Amino acid sequence: MAWHSFLLLATAILAVVCSAVSGCSPSDRAALLAFRKALSEPYLGLFNSWTGSNCCLDWYGISCDATTGRVTDITCRGESEDPIFEKAGRSGYMTGKLSEAICGIDTLTTLVVADWKDIAGEIPTCVTALPSLRILDLIGNKLSGEIPADVGKLSRLTVLNLADNALSGKIPASITQLGSLKHLDLSNNQLCGEIPEDFGNLGMLSRMLLSRNQLTGKIPVSVSKIYRLADLDLSANRLSGSVPFELGTMPVLSTLNLDSNSLEGLIPSSLLSNGGMGILNLSRNGFEGSIPDVFGSHSYFMALDLSFNNLKGRVPSSLASAKFIGHLDLSHNHLCGSIPLGAPFDHLEASSFTSNDCLCGNPLKTC
């Protein structure tokens, strides 16, 4: 009798679960079909699976909540190791635009439409009203217009990747309200204006990539307050002024790219004495003065590039005591004197030191 009751209960539970996931929400399905209609993917047939009433079952790139049947993830990448791409022997290509209909799926946690090369138009402003969105990845398209001004409303967002598009305008001030953000990539767009002064409010950020834009003004000192920041790339912009000394005191920062700007003044000694700094590129700026002589056995640089500046004086003797220097470029400055002897210099070629005023010693001519 007990076994019979158990079977009845199990059957009832199974019936409830099956009824919940027997088909996705009709409104979600309609939104997905409208989203698809605004796009054209001519080569791989990825959207051919978007048929039938249940969008939670075998629709390419779609994931749903198993309990509610609501769509939670849209993940469509044009660069993928998916067998569909390998079989076709090509990467993805898609035209069209991002339909506002996608905002009707208010349960979305992930929206990835990345690396399709030719999806154009603007980012629908309504995406900022998706309350559960955690990942917004639209890298590698031709999206234009401005980043939605209310992007700061996405309080749960952890990844914002809009790189490799044609976005313009300023970085929205509200972006500094994204307290959960861990990865920010806005590189290779046409963004202008200054970096918001209160960027330091992004306390969870580990990667901040803003390179290859048209950003102006100074590097905000508040960036140094982002305790978890490990990778900061502001290269190939129009930034000016000096580099905040505080950047060199950041405990986790290991990669700092500030090359190809209009930065000036002295190189902060903190950047070179920080034992955690592994990649430092300050090339193609207007730095002056001497290179701080603050290296030591704690120094471990996979790449150190100070080329194309106005640096004077000698190559620091303390560089010879560094634990490791993988790539060193001090070329195109006004350095003088003999190059120090030591293990970090043994593998370097003349190109690391060329186009200075009067450097000599191995690997250049003898003094």
* The token pair that represents 113 in the structure block: 């439409």
Torsion of the alpha carbons at 285, 287, 292 and 298, rounded to the nearest 10 = -20
Which tokens is 277 given?
């700094």
Please answer whether residues 268 and 291 qualify as being in contact, where contact means their C-beta atoms are separated by less than 8 angstroms: no
pTM exceeding the 0.85 threshold for the entire prediction: yes
From 30, 22, 98, 101, select the one nearest 64 (Cα to Cα): 22
Structure tokens at 121: 């138009």
For residue 16, report the phi and psi dihedrals to the nearest 5 degrees: -65, -45
- pLDDT tens track for 273-318: 999 999 999 999 999 999 999 999 999 999 999 999 999 999 999 9
Write out the two tokens for 115. Answer: 């690396």
CA dihedral defined by 135, 136, 141, 146, rounded to 10 degrees? -160
What pLDDT score does 18 carry?
40
pLDDT tens digits along 124-162:
999 999 999 999 999 999 999 999 999 999 999 999 999
Bridge partners of 120, per DSSP, are 97
> Is the distance from CB of 330 to CB of 351 less than 8 angstroms?
no
Per-residue pLDDT, 22? 54
Task: Report the pLDDT value the prediction gives residue 84, as an integer from 0 to 100.
Answer: 78
Unique residue bearing structure tokens 């490799």: 164
Task: Please give the mean pLDDT across all residues of the chain.
Answer: 92
Model confidence pLDDT, tens digit, residues 1-53: 444 444 334 433 433 334 344 578 999 999 999 999 999 999 889 999 999 99
**What pLDDT is recorded for position 109?**
98
Backbone angles phi, psi at 246, to 5 degrees: -60, -25
Cα distance between residue 353 and residue 367, in whole Å: 14
Judged against a pLDDT cut of 80, whether residue 86 lies above it is answered with no
Q: Which of 290, 296, 206, 212 is nearest to 252 (CA)?
A: 206
Alpha helices in the chain (DSSP H): 2-21, 26-37, 83-88, 269-273
Q: Which residues are bridge partners to 221 per DSSP?
A: none
Q: Report the length, in residues, of the chain.
A: 367
User: Mean of the pLDDT values across residues 260-283?
Assistant: 97
